[in-house]
Amino acid sequence: MANTTFTSGTVIESSWLNDVNDATYEGTAVYTPTGTGAIATTVQTKLRESVSVKDFGAVGDGVTDDRAAIVLALAYLTSGGTLYFPAGTYLVSAAITVPHGNLQMQGDGFNASVIKIAASYADSTSLFDFSSVDNVEISDLGFNGNLANQGISSTADNKQIAIAIKGTSSNYSITRCYFKDWGKDGVYVQTANNRRVTVSECLFENTRRNGVTFIGGEQCQVVNCQFFLGKDQTNVVFNNGVHYEPNSAADNLKGLIVKGNSFHDMQGGVMLYNSNGGTVSGVIVEGNEFETITQRAAVVSYALGTAGITISGNRFRNCGNDASTSVTTDGGGIQFNQTANAIITDNSFDNCTGFLGTVVNSGSAGRGTIIKNNLFTGDQRGAIRLGYVNGSSSTGSLRQIVGNICLGGGLDTANTYTAISIANTVTHQGNGDVVLNNSIQISTTSGYGTGISVDQESGTSVVGQNAIVGSTGAKYSFTNGTPTQLYDYSRDVSATIDPASIANGGALSTDVTVSGAAVGDQVIFSPGVNVSGLAATATVRGVNTVQLVLANNTGAAVDLVSSTWKFKTIRPLV
């Protein structure tokens, strides 16, 4: 049918009118996008690529039950497409199973387009159930669990979930959504076969069990989300922002990234609770903010085995300092148990309390932990504590505590502060533990405080070059053996040396002032000129004084030019 312009008096042919009728009522009007290679289709086909739930009878007034309309709309999109939820509140009375993938569910913003479960909604169900459905995008929607009308049960485990991803479902993007007032979880990922699930820029508020729960999963991410779950929840087992707990050994977790999120005012932050033997690998917790985490440590890792976990660039503040926190079990910034090959680096911890304050506690199988370049301030019972490692002296624990800054907080006589503690026990080994280059300042109200405490049992540890100030107790405390290569922090100085000519067979000595040097310190020096053939030695001969001796046995006189030499004194503590 050609485009036609009519003027007054034009006679309209019946064939043209029939063409208009066909295009209008039989959907033959053509739609062709602009651009090279565009393919023509009908206007009707193009419009059907995206449907609104209101096209199928949804009202969105918060009173009418819109479940049937949403089910019809989803069933219609047999080959996928976009299901649009215009602004409104869509009440749903029972669970909805999504039948097809290649689906986009979109709203007008998570405060504008809200899907809410009815007061009569059954327990132990999901709002949307995605079972073996791939390629789903959910964005700009609010999900309301109507908790005020659901009642608080004795446990959150029998309440509702907003979005459940099950079976072999893969490729999910959940973006800019709001999960509020859910009796159980906001998002639930059920199996190790659920791959590439990304939850980003979402808000979780008052979800009674967890914000996002993984029973298993591969290459999943939780990024740039905010969690405010409520620290005063009762009758809940967990209440974490992100939680992993397998149901069986087949429920593996691989490649989980938790990055750029905020966790505030809740009982737990990130918990990896591998109680049933799943395989865990490639877990990264990076660049998150944890504040006012009250009932346990902000990050808890239990029984991850040898897979390892990287925790870097996070900020922990006021974690574990709620009055209800047990000071002998949970609490603090990070707590590990039965987790090996962990890397904990470049984090900051401020005013974290609980069991030894900010806790980094590797228990059985904690071999290979690296704790490096972290900042600890205001901790009330300690900064770092490593527990025992099962094994023999031949296997060792091989843990490193390097380059951390520990600024301790106030104590009472019942809770003595120890900045860094390695607490091995009988039949366990501390072989290979290294504590180097840490800076510790202890400020206590009662005068109790120890810098570094090591119980190495029959192992061999290395402790050295740590700066410890403000301790009214011992800087170092060692039981069951003394670590090897144990040195206090060094003192460095550069000096100009211009010796006179040294005759063959003669020697020359000169003194160099090194503030803080004392008899018994070891001296390392670096000449500023070539001294080949000369015997050069340096020793501390008195307070603040290093003596350099140059002996000439070259067979001829030697006259060295003036140059700058570098001296370092190191004080053994044993």
Q: Give the pLDDT confidence of 457-484 residue by residue, as tens digits.
A: 555 678 888 888 776 667 788 777 666 6
How does DSSP assign 123-156, residue by residue?
SS-EEEEEES---EEEES-EEE--GGGT---S-G
Handedness of CA 83, 85, 86, 92 (dihedral sign): positive
- 393 has a pLDDT exceeding 50: no
Q: Global pTM?
A: 0.79
Kindly report, residue by residue over 494-527, the tens digit of the pLDDT.
Answer: 999 999 899 999 999 999 999 888 898 889 999 9
Q: What share of the chain is helix, strand, coil (3-state, %, to 5)?
A: 5, 45, 50
Per-residue pLDDT at 145: 94
Per-residue pLDDT at 561: 94
Kindly report, residue by residue over 211-249, the tens digit of the pLDDT.
Answer: 999 999 999 999 999 999 775 565 556 689 999 989 888
- 354 has a pLDDT exceeding 50: no
Contact yes or no for 223/253 (Cβ under 8 A): no
Contact yes or no for 348/318 (Cβ under 8 A): no
What's the pLDDT band for 4 if we cut at 50, 70, 90? low
To the nearest 10°, report the CA torsion of 70, 73, 78, 84: -90
Per-residue pLDDT at 318: 85
3-state secondary structure of 390: coil
Phi, psi at 233, each rounded to 5°: -65, 145
Mean pLDDT value across residues 549-560: 94
What's the pLDDT band for 441 if we cut at 50, 70, 90? confident
Mean pLDDT value across residues 340-345: 86
- 136 has a pLDDT exceeding 60: yes
- Average pLDDT over all residues of the chain: 82
Query: Measured between alpha carbons, how far is 81 from 73 in angstroms, rounded to an integer?
Result: 11
Per-residue pLDDT at 357: 37
How does DSSP assign 456-481, residue by residue?
-BTS--EEEEEEEES-SS-SEEEESS
What's the pLDDT band for 188 if we cut at 50, 70, 90? very high
HSE toward the beta carbon, residue 3, CA cutoff 13 A: 1
Per-residue pLDDT at 123: 81
Query: Measured between alpha carbons, how far is 60 from 114 in angstroms, rounded to an integer?
Result: 9
DSSP at 415: S
- 153 has a pLDDT exceeding 80: no
What's the pLDDT band for 529 if we cut at 50, 70, 90? very high
Query: Measured between alpha carbons, how far is 383 from 359 in angstroms, rounded to an integer?
Result: 7
- 326 has a pLDDT exceeding 50: no
Per-residue pLDDT at 106: 97
Cα distances (angstroms) measured from residue 104 to each of 169, 173, 255 = 15, 9, 25
Kindly report, residue by residue over 270-319, the tens digit of the pLDDT.
Answer: 998 887 888 888 899 999 999 988 777 788 887 666 567 899 999 998 88
Burial class (CB in 10 A: 0-12, 13-18, 19+), 444: buried
How does DSSP assign 280-343, residue by residue?
EE-EEEES-EEEEE-SS-SEEEEEEETS-EEEES-EEES-S-STTS-SSSS-SSEEEEEE-S-E
Kindly report, residue by residue over 24-41, the tens digit of the pLDDT.
Answer: 665 566 656 766 776 666
Contact yes or no for 285/256 (Cβ under 8 A): no
Per-residue pLDDT at 516: 80
Query: Measured between alpha carbons, how far is 198 from 200 in angstroms, rounded to an integer?
Result: 6
Contact yes or no for 428/363 (Cβ under 8 A): no
Phi, psi at 65, each rounded to 5°: -75, 110
Geometric angle at alpha carbon 145, from 239 and 118, rounded to 5°:
150
Query: Measured between alpha carbons, how far is 187 from 164 in angstroms, rounded to an integer?
Result: 6
Per-residue pLDDT at 91: 97
